[in-house]
Amino acid sequence: MPIEKHSRLVEHALALKKAWLLAAAIVGAGEQLPQKDLHIPNYLAWENKALKRQIRNLEDDFEDVAKLLLLAWKRNNLPSITAWLAERFDEWQQAEFSVFELGRVHDVEQAVGLLGHRRMIDCPPYAQVLLQGFFGAAIRHPEYHLARDLALLYNLFLDSEAILNEQQRKKQRHSSEHSQSLARSVILTCFNLLESFVSGLATAYLIEDPDGPEDIREKLEDNKLSLRKRLVSFPSLVAGGSVLIDDSKPPLKKLFGECKERRDSFVHCEPGPTPTKWGYVKEKHFHDVDRPVVRDGRPHT
């Protein structure tokens, strides 16, 4: 019996230690821990009295981190949360503590509760919770990175235009090719971001409402719809109300008019002066990417 009790205490202490270390890594506090705290002791060699004291200390330490890890920490959830985190720690250890996906936001939050990351950033249910060593977990999803891409590219485009203007003012020899490349990249990224946005709306609904109306689920799963139709219909389907977006008015009218024509000219290039069946020349649009065109193609706030 004493042996069984010792084994239970060892198992309990080990699970708490692993869970505490992983929680500290998720919130980015692991780098602040002393080297001795990163080590997992050989609890088998400890006496029961020392193990009990260690368990109490670990529970208190875990609670301090849990208040950062979760939006709403409840002490009575300690056993289930630490058990789940301890299992993930073992998987992370097997991956040699490299960059490691803990799971999707929905699955992680089903196991431990709403993440404290929600205090600062959006956490869509399909996003990856990506552990980056002890530097904190990232919430990774395409919209975030595409928005960063767009901001970077647009700022670089403005810089390139400013350089061109300065060279023109000084009557220096110059080329606009780099500016044109950035302009095309900005417009393409805008449409990529819109694609990701509407796909994210659909995916989030399908994950969070698995028992939602079948007709709505079928519409959200229809990958044959155009971006324009999805952008108009998906928000209202998810919100359960009437149509929220009018694509016959600005800014969508121009976005899916002239801006979309240019995007298609980049993606489906056709040299020559022959107009498409819609009446515009792709070659002309391919090269016509000045600042007003790029500005009109950006998402509006």
pLDDT along the chain (301 residues), means of 10: 85 97 93 87 95 97 96 94 97 93 97 96 96 92 96 95 90 86 94 96 95 94 92 90 79 88 91 89 86 68 38
Cis-peptide into 213, omega within 30 deg: no
Element containing residue 177 per DSSP (H, E): helix 177-208
Identify the DSSP state of 299: P
Return d(Cα 236, Cα 243) in angstroms, integer: 5
| Three-state secondary structure call for residue 70 | strand
The whole-number pLDDT of residue 243 equals: 67
The whole-number pLDDT of residue 107 equals: 97
The whole-number pLDDT of residue 78 equals: 96
The whole-number pLDDT of residue 239 equals: 87
Residue 67: which residues within 8 A CB-CB, separation 6 or more? 73, 116
Note the helical H segments in 43-141: 48-69, 78-94, 105-112
Instruction: Kindly report each contact of residues 44-52 with a partner whose C-beta sits within 8 Å and lies 24 or more positions away, as own/partner.
Output: 44/10, 46/10, 46/13, 48/2, 48/5, 48/6, 48/9, 51/6, 51/9, 51/10, 51/12, 51/13, 52/9
Q: List for the chain the helix, strand, coil content (%; round to 5).
A: 65, 5, 30
Return d(Cα 147, Cα 101) in angstroms, integer: 22
The whole-number pLDDT of residue 247 equals: 86
Q: Are 154 and 179 in contact (CB under 8 A)?
A: no
Return d(Cα 111, Cα 84) in angstroms, integer: 7
Where are the chain's structural domains?
A: 2-140, 144-297
Q: Are 203 and 144 in contact (CB under 8 A)?
A: no
Residue 15: which residues within 8 A CB-CB, separation 6 or more? 82, 83, 86
The whole-number pLDDT of residue 222 equals: 93
pTM of the prediction? 0.87
Report the half-sphere exposure of 141 (CA within 13 A, side-chain side): 24
The whole-number pLDDT of residue 301 equals: 38
Task: Tell me the sheet residues that pair with 131.
Answer: 100, 137
Residue 107 tokens read as: 């699955």
Q: Are 104 and 127 in contact (CB under 8 A)?
A: yes
Q: Of the candidates 112, 58, 109, 56, which has an alpha carbon nearest to the alpha carbon of residue 84?
A: 112
Return d(Cα 31, Cα 36) in angstroms, integer: 12
Beta strands of 105-201 (E only): which ranges? 128-131, 137-140
